[in-house]
Chain A
Amino acid sequence: MLKIENLTKYYGDKAAVKDLNLSIAPGEIYGFIGHNGAGKTTTLKSIAGILKFDSGDIYVDGHSVKADPIACKKVMAYIPDNPDLYEYMSGIRFLNFVADVYGVDAARRGELIQRYGDALELTDSLAQNISEYSHGMKQKLAIISALIHEPKLILMDEPFVGLDPVASHTVKRLMREMCDDGGAIFFSTHVLEVAEKLCDKVAIIKNGELIRSGTMEEVRGDESLESVFLELQE
């Protein structure tokens, strides 16, 4: 579903990501962990088509992000760490806007908005302006907007920040369901317990370089993910 080949991205003279290689298969929840400034967001934004990268390539569902970004974006969704949304729109207008852009028909979008809105307890607030939403509500709306076009791959940057425990639990369930249906999720997190419980695979990045990746068992061995992570960061 996602293949990253030798991804390198510089900011000026500083390499934010160096020669990164990674593959995610359908059905996998892939965690991406690393210290602040390690290159997680840069990697996610490069995959999402927000950032141009200097070398290497990224393939989403077989399409190159460099050569055919539109095809990649059609099957992908991105949820940023800070969900800045159009505050002049109501929640439902924003969802309809996203659904229009992705070509979701009226019946299907209605069904999905109801399903995910109810699951995240946001349905009643959809008529309100986004400017009146709390951070958590905006995060929920961003998650619903990512799900309503039924992407094959979802990129999430710190998806649980700002969510209450119930919503957090629901999002984890939805992530699992999506992957059980053949989708894939690549998400960054600082909460190692979440990564440990939720992910099928995990990658650890340090100073822009991938220092370990694989299944949870391969990465942590007999230790906890936290111990491995701290060891690797030293």
Chain B
Amino acid sequence: MLKVLLKKQMYEMLSGILTNRRTGKRRSAGALAGFAILFAFAGISMSFGFGALYLLTATTLAGGPDVPGQLLPVEYGGLYFAFTGIITLMLGIIGGMFTTYSILYMPRDNELLLSMPVKPSVILASRMLSVYLMIVIYTVLSYVPAVAVFFISSGFRTDVLLMSLVMYIAMTFFVLALSCFLGWLLALIAAKLGSKKVVTVVSVLVTAFAYYFFYFGRNQVMKLITDDPANAVRVFRTTPLLVFFSYGEGSGGSWLYFLIFLGIVAASMSLAMLLLSGSFIALVTTRKGRKKKVYVARTARTNSALGALFRREIKRFVTDPGYFINSGFGSIVFIVAAVIAAFNTPGLRSLIASMQNPAGEGPSVAISPAMLPVTVLSATALVLFWTPISASSVSLEGNRLWILKTMPVSTTGILAMKLAVHELFAGIPAAIFVTAAGIILEMGVLPTVLLCVAALSFAALAGSFGLMLETHNPKLDWTDENVAIKQNYNVLFVMLAGFGITTLFGAFIPICMFFPVVLIPALVFQAAVAAGLSVLFFRISARLWETL
């Protein structure tokens, strides 16, 4: 039975890749190769990023760059892997944790499967496959460079290769267990309180906490390791970081910690399975605490047709935890970054001043003030493309697409409202962020204004690009809403495009470094190109919508 359900789950996941939904036909080998290349490009790009971070850690532990040829000391191998374990866990959480609730408890085929002679644990296990594969896809991007850098730094060891592989697999199950706990907790809250809004609030709080914990926690751990590795080992052993230390030492060749970590994972998974399968039927069928609201007629507040569509898009975005967390995370990042920057204004200003007027020894080069706006714009563009709100907005219509298609509203009106919501939740926070950056870093009035316009243009570009992909190949046949968000290749392509756009427009950073006079034309050019492309993509989207 598990095999049958796993096949169904795999089919659901792969159908978007293997089949063209518009024609219903199997994709050509060329199209599949294109998919593979894009995936590989994204994976390799991210792996290189983590590799650079791990190389820095290994080099520091080996005594720093001033000690050429120095190998990573054997006693710090565990510490090194412990650090990579933290990053791996963080990626796994991004990959799996925040959609576990929806994937495990919210699919539309709950009643169908429960009516069949299938044990709840088997239903759960098959659904966990989706979560698990997402966790593996994300975490492998950290594991591969971690092992590669270790071998570069301290030489190849077969035992480390095998043990680290087992530890990595165990880590993916550890993340799965954590994801299941959170999913179960959200399902429990939803069933007891009967409100999805509470689930949204809890999800946002957990996300914010996790982001804070990992971002600042990672920096603290990095500092701890680089300041005094011997002390770091002591801290790791005597705090909850022991989990990572066991992972690290186990990967590095210690049988004792290898077994300890396997024990921790086995206990976590057993507990998770016990908890979830014992409560599954109750949680997916209970509607406790939901008091029936009786409608009381009152005069409705009317809206224009476009206003109604706009409000509908907003409502869907803010009431769907999966959509909000996965696609709107950049909005939170912009606002949090602006607030943090505002609180650290003196520090940031002195940092920039020291970079512009370097003193002391070393081959330091003074950076030009003209570099700042274009650098901020590049970073903003990247985060904007990593806020793919519009890139699942058509797929989310699912079987309800008929409602929009039968309404007397123009295609441009429908798509414009989707884009408007993208601008509201991505463009406006980005504009706030760049304005704050402009003021805090004293960029001047004109560059700040242009930066703001450019940020809104890039938001429109990311939004219209997402719409174009969505109207070309939407994922409408989902049984679980999260499939339209998390397993939607349009989202991935928008995020990949972010790399391309940042690389392309990032060329203005060195140009402005050497020719500061081109700053204003560079900002105007970037804003104009982004706006022009947005209009083009939007028009294509409108044409494609007609064929849906």
B297 and A113 contact, CB distance less than 8 A: yes
| Chain A residues within 8 Å of B546, by CB | 52
Interface 1/0s, chain A 73-102, versus B by CB < 8 A?
A: 110111010101110111111001111111
Q: Does B8 contact A (CB under 8 A)?
A: no
B300 and A96 contact, CB distance less than 8 A: yes
| Chain B residues within 8 Å of A110, by CB | 297, 299-300
In the assembled complex, the Cα of A11 lies from the Cα of B101 at a distance in Å of 38
Interface 1/0s, chain B 511-548, versus A by CB < 8 A?
A: 00000000000000000000000000000000000110
B405 and A48 contact, CB distance less than 8 A: yes
A73 and B408 contact, CB distance less than 8 A: yes
Q: Which of A12, A90, A91, A106 contacts B302 (CB 8 A)?
A: A106
Q: Does A179 contact B (CB under 8 A)?
A: no
| Chain A residues within 8 Å of B409, by CB | 70, 101
In the assembled complex, the Cα of A78 lies from the Cα of B402 at a distance in Å of 9
Q: Does B377 contact A (CB under 8 A)?
A: no
Q: Which of A92, A101, A124 contacts B308 (CB 8 A)?
A: A101
A101 and B407 contact, CB distance less than 8 A: yes
| Chain A residues within 8 Å of B400, by CB | 84-86
| Chain B residues within 8 Å of A80, by CB | 402
Q: Does A56 contact B (CB under 8 A)?
A: no
Interface 1/0s, chain B 198-226, versus A by CB < 8 A?
A: 00000000000000000000000000000
Interface 1/0s, chain B 298-316, versus A by CB < 8 A?
A: 0111111101110110011
CB distance from A192 to the nearest CB of B (A): 26
Using A101-B408, A102-B408 as known contacts, say yes or no to A127 and B308 having CB atoms under 8 A apart. Answer: no
Interface 1/0s, chain B 315-327, versus A by CB < 8 A?
A: 1100110000000
Interface stretch among B42-50, B115-123, B285-293, B339-347?
B285-293
| Chain A residues within 8 Å of B406, by CB | 48-50, 73, 76-78
B302 and A100 contact, CB distance less than 8 A: yes
| Chain B residues within 8 Å of A100, by CB | 302-305, 307-308
CB distance from B99 to the nearest CB of A (A): 17
| Chain A residues within 8 Å of B300, by CB | 96, 99, 106, 109-110
Using A86-B316, A106-B302, A109-B300 as known contacts, say yes or no to A73 and B407 having CB atoms under 8 A apart. Answer: yes
CB distance from B133 to the nearest CB of A (A): 27
B402 and A92 contact, CB distance less than 8 A: no
B315 and A89 contact, CB distance less than 8 A: yes
Using A88-B320, A100-B302, A100-B303 as known contacts, say yes or no to A128 and B292 having CB atoms under 8 A apart. Answer: yes
Q: Which of A12, A99, A123 contacts B295 (CB 8 A)?
A: A123
A97 and B297 contact, CB distance less than 8 A: no
Interface 1/0s, chain B 403-427, versus A by CB < 8 A?
A: 1011111100000000000000000
B315 and A127 contact, CB distance less than 8 A: no
Using A100-B307, A106-B302, A132-B287 as known contacts, say yes or no to A50 and B402 having CB atoms under 8 A apart. Answer: yes
| Chain A residues within 8 Å of B67, by CB | none
A88 and B305 contact, CB distance less than 8 A: no
In the assembled complex, the Cα of A48 lies from the Cα of B315 at a distance in Å of 26
A86 and B403 contact, CB distance less than 8 A: yes
Q: Does A163 contact B (CB under 8 A)?
A: no
Q: Does A37 contact B (CB under 8 A)?
A: no
Q: Which of B295, B307, B311, B410 contacts A92 (CB 8 A)?
A: B295
CB distance from B297 to the nearest CB of A (A): 6
A70 and B297 contact, CB distance less than 8 A: no
In the assembled complex, the Cα of A77 lies from the Cα of B196 at a distance in Å of 31
Q: Does B19 contact A (CB under 8 A)?
A: no
| Chain B residues within 8 Å of A91, by CB | 295
In the assembled complex, the Cα of A16 lies from the Cα of B398 at a distance in Å of 23
Interface 1/0s, chain A 91-135, versus B by CB < 8 A?
A: 111001111111101110110011001000001111110001000
Tell me the nearest residue of chain A to B196, going by C-beta: A88
Please provide the chain B residues from 213 to 248 with a CB less than 8 Å away from any CB of chain A in the complex.
none
Interface centre among A89, A97, A113, A126 (most CB of B within 10 A): A97
CB distance from B327 to the nearest CB of A (A): 15
In the assembled complex, the Cα of A124 lies from the Cα of B315 at a distance in Å of 23
Interface 1/0s, chain B 366-382, versus A by CB < 8 A?
A: 00000000000000000
A127 and B407 contact, CB distance less than 8 A: no
Q: Does B399 contact A (CB under 8 A)?
A: yes
Tell me the nearest residue of chain B to A84, going by C-beta: B399
In the assembled complex, the Cα of A123 lies from the Cα of B301 at a distance in Å of 18
In the assembled complex, the Cα of A110 lies from the Cα of B290 at a distance in Å of 27
CB distance from A90 to the nearest CB of B (A): 8
| Chain B residues within 8 Å of A107, by CB | 299
A132 and B408 contact, CB distance less than 8 A: no
Interface 1/0s, chain B 258-288, versus A by CB < 8 A?
A: 0000000000000000000000000000010
User: What 12 new A-B contacts, CB under 8 Å, besides A49-B405, A102-B407, A132-B287?
Assistant: A77-B406, A82-B399, A85-B400, A86-B400, A88-B196, A88-B315, A97-B308, A100-B302, A101-B305, A101-B309, A101-B408, A101-B409
Q: Which residues of B contact A (CB under 8 A)?
A: 23-24, 196, 287, 290, 292-297, 299-305, 307-309, 311-312, 315-316, 319-320, 398-400, 402-403, 405-410, 546-547
What are 7 of the A-B contact pairs (CB < 8 Å)?
A: A48-B402, A52-B547, A73-B407, A92-B295, A101-B308, A101-B407, A127-B294
Nearest 6 pairs between A and B by C-beta? A100-B308, A126-B295, A73-B408, A127-B293, A84-B399, A127-B295
Q: Which residues of A contact B (CB under 8 A)?
A: 12, 45, 48-50, 52, 70-71, 73-74, 76-78, 80, 82, 84-86, 88-93, 96-103, 105-107, 109-110, 113-114, 117, 123-128, 132
